[in-house]
Amino acid sequence: MLTIYTSRYAQAEKAYVFHVLFRELLGADFRIVNQPEADHHRIVLPNGNTLVVENHYWFPDIKHVPPDTIAGALPHPFHPDDDVVVIYGKPVFSTGDDRITCGIDLFAATYYMLTRWEENNPAVFDAHGRFPAQQSLAYRANFLHRPVVNEWAALLWEMLLRLGWNQPRPTRNFKVSISCDVDHPKLWWTARERLRTMGGALLKRRDLREVLYWTKNHLFRPEDPYDVFVTWMDRLEENNCVAQFNFLGARPRASDCWYPLEHPFVQTTMKKIAARGHKIGFHPSWEAFESAEIFNRELASLQAVSPVKITHGRQHYLRFRAPDTWRMWEDAGLVGDSSLGYPEAVGFRCGICHDFPVFDASTQTMLRLRETPLVAMDVTLAQYCRYTPAVAVKHLEALKDQVKKHQGEFTLLWHNSSWNTYKWAPWKHILFDMIR
């Protein structure tokens, strides 16, 4: 067991960070000893050797002001071709046989990334009330593509090993997690809507190639273009992959992405998903983002028609506000969220590629709720970033390699409505290329 000597300040925050880094990511048990006079964190191994991680954040007069700029990038002390991202602290190391001192405040940096501390006071929200990726430190300092919390955990592990730590690190299996936000279960609910799609292509967009696409592939077939659920489950199961399909709850008919939960097609689709062992999740509406009353009402309506208990999900439009949104999920009795990705940029918004327990900074408590960060989304690639499919694949593969390196979870969101249409036809192969 490790013994961590630290000051009495911010006990709940530090206990949370120690739990994630040491217990969850490194599998190392520890006990905390508070020392009022301690300036820095001192981790003592069973053999008496010591790792000092300097404290540059938790002091009695701390104002919790996010850094304006990154402190630096330090060459990795053990791997010359790599570097270490520094948010707080000094870019220095000193190593010896029985003592290593790390000038980088790895613990404060981890807290900063996991709690989304910088999102509390953004310069501006976007049109949907979201924190923009461009305002994040990770984007501005060009490390959004790196799971830096996992990197800091790996650095801690190497330092412990060099000081004589002899406990095995738990292994995890890399996996790809596919999720689908079901904004539109069907494209066509009536015959008139079929004709409207063709009329839009012919008269509004004047695109004869689109007319040919719809005529050849869908217009005269009974299957709806958005009804991809059985096809997807067949392909996913061939690759031993379980997907989560997030459905919207009951709302006024004028709401965006409205569909009737009581419709036989919707209920039959949910039953098929559940019967095959895939997951049904909750997709709170645009309005539910700021209203616990609406959130709970929509959740209850979905639970009433779902053949299985609802425990996980994701926010519609990725509308999220730390820690209020997390608290809403927690208070509703849900156990897993996957909203923490940026709509306009792929990468690691929380700096981690594993699910992790959520910390509510406003109440200084670790919640039961766990966050599974979203790495990439179809709409991000095609619409926000305006990548070609070939460029998108390169970015996805690079992110996958980062996740594989840390035996993490590559979470990809692909809408059922982003597959069988003229616009998405060139992208169709990407979803299943990612799970092979």
Domain range summary for the chain, segments of one domain joined by +:
2-162, 175-187+224-433
Separation of alpha carbons 287 and 293, rounded Å: 10
Tell me what pLDDT residue 413 has: 98
- Enter the pTM of the model: 0.95
Nearest of 249, 230, 234, 359 to residue 310 by alpha carbon: 249
Q: Cα 59–60–64 angle (5° rounding)? A: 65
**DSSP state, 10?**
T
Mean pLDDT of 216-234: 91
Structure tokens at 130: 């979201």
Tell me what pLDDT residue 67 has: 54
Q: What is the pLDDT of residues 252-282, one digit of tens each?
A: 999 999 999 999 999 999 999 999 999 999 9
Separation of alpha carbons 113 and 162, rounded Å: 27
Separation of alpha carbons 246 and 315, rounded Å: 9
The structure tokens 């000597």 sit at 5
Confidence of residue 63 (pLDDT cuts 50, 70, 90): low
Mean pLDDT of 19-26: 98
Q: What is the pLDDT of residues 86-139, one digit of tens each?
A: 999 888 899 988 999 999 999 999 999 999 999 987 778 999 999 999 999 999
**DSSP state, 220?**
T
The CATH number assigned to the domain with range 175-187+224-433 reads 3.20.20.370
The structure tokens 């969850």 sit at 24
In the three-class reduction of DSSP (H, G, I as helix; E, B as strand; rest coil), residue 92 is classed as strand
